[in-house]
Amino acid sequence: MPLVVTGSVGFDSIEVPSGEKREHVLGGSCTYFSAAASFHGPVRIVAVVGKDFTDEQRAVLAHFGVDTKGLEARDGKTFRWGGRYHANMDERDTLYTELNVLGGEPPRVPEEYKDADVVFLANNPPRVQLDFLEQFPHKRFVVADTMDLWITTARAELEQLLTRIDGLVLNYDEAELLSGKQNTVAAARDILEKGPRFVVVKKGEHGCLFVHREGIGALPAYPSERVVDPTGAGDSFAGGMMGFLASHDVDDLGRFDAVYAALVHGTIIASFTIEDFGLGRLQTLKRQELLERLEAFVKMLRVPGL
């Protein structure tokens, strides 16, 4: 089923606790999402870059088979973001956000993308996410991401969005901010009341909580010994999850068990993303490695002796 993601493509500057620093790393939500989703099937992106975005950078996305017809190049500079990780590698400070072309009009959805069934609205102002929704008349399954900035500055529009989507994926601190509830389960249940069928609350190295109208689930993160750069973990988690769902031609993609299985795929691909800066690890990742880790993780979830 055609899968499309709307969000950012940009250049990141990343500092990790070891003191290592990387500049001008190809990043952005669409980048990580689409690279991760590509392991399951075709994926299209809708994003905007500046004239400083090179053919080589476009080729990196093409290497993953990502359809970049919806990657619009405009006069101006590409979005830039800088982050510095705390010692625990889970928390980070944003050092700067230069919206550049991302601050202008959102990109238009190409005509040939309008048949998309499965849509992921990565982090964007909710007004822009609502506008994107209108541009997919055939959508069957829509999941969105959001962030603290929109929860505090655009709550009314975000609440409108929540009535129009199947699922919401967000971090635990954002769930607390959106619901006013400190307990993650209570926070997720509160968000369900606002409209979506399910909420996935990400907890970094502690995995995720999944609250669905039909049940509740929780997954640990894959226990990684080597975390080099956590940037993009959340977006590739969403990419693995949505890519898996889009590759399954079932009537109801939002079913409890389908989404739960998809979260396992998200967890596994995210565990590879964090093993290197940027897309480094996903660029060398073989399908076989992915399947082996998936199998090991599923085995781990079945506790022997119980």
| Interatomic CA distance for residues 239 and 232, integer angstroms | 10
> Where in 32-51 is the site for ligand AMP (CB under 6 A)?
32
Minimum CB distance to ligand AMP smaller for 12 or for 190: 12
Write the DSSP assignment of 31-77 as a string of letters.
HHHHHHHTTTS--EEEEEE-TT--HHHHHHHHHTT-B-TTEEE-SSP
Minimum CB distance to ligand AMP smaller for 91 or for 115: 91
By the rule CB under 6 A, 12 interacts with ligand AMP: yes
Here the contacts of 56-59 (C-beta below 8 Å, separation 24 or greater) are: 57/26
Q: How far is the CB of 151 from ligand AMP (least distance, A)?
A: 13
Cα atoms found within 13 Å of the Cα of residue 27, Cβ hemisphere only? 26
* 4 token code pair: 């499309």
> Where in 72-131 is the site for ligand AMP (CB under 6 A)?
81, 97, 123
Minimum CB distance to ligand AMP smaller for 166 or for 174: 174
> Where in 226-285 is the site for ligand AMP (CB under 6 A)?
231-235
* 124 token code pair: 């964007």
Minimum CB distance to ligand AMP smaller for 2 or for 83: 83
- Candidate segments 6-14, 176-184, 251-259, 282-290, binder of ligand AMP by CB under 6 A: 6-14
- Candidate segments 23-31, 35-43, 125-133, 156-164, binder of ligand AMP by CB under 6 A: 23-31
- Candidate segments 4-12, 49-57, 136-144, 161-169, binder of ligand AMP by CB under 6 A: 4-12
CA 9 to centroid of chain Cα atoms = 12
By the rule CB under 6 A, 27 interacts with ligand AMP: yes
Q: How far is the CB of 303 from ligand AMP (least distance, A)?
A: 29
Closest among 80, 79, 54 to 68, alpha carbons compared: 54
| Interatomic CA distance for residues 143 and 276, integer angstroms | 27
Q: How far is the CB of 99 from ligand AMP (least distance, A)?
A: 7
Q: How many residues bind ligand AMP (CB under 6 A)?
A: 15
CB 121 within 8 A of CB 132: yes
Element at 298 (helix H, strand E): helix 287-301
Show the binding pattern over residues 146-185: x = contacts ligand AMP (CB under 6 A), - = does not. ----------------------------------------
| Interatomic CA distance for residues 61 and 262, integer angstroms | 23
By the rule CB under 6 A, 53 interacts with ligand AMP: no
Q: What angle separates helix 256-273 from helix 233-246, to the nearest 10 degrees?
A: 140
What is the contact surface with ligand AMP in residues (CB under 6 A)? Answer: 8, 10, 12, 27-29, 32, 81, 97, 123, 231-235
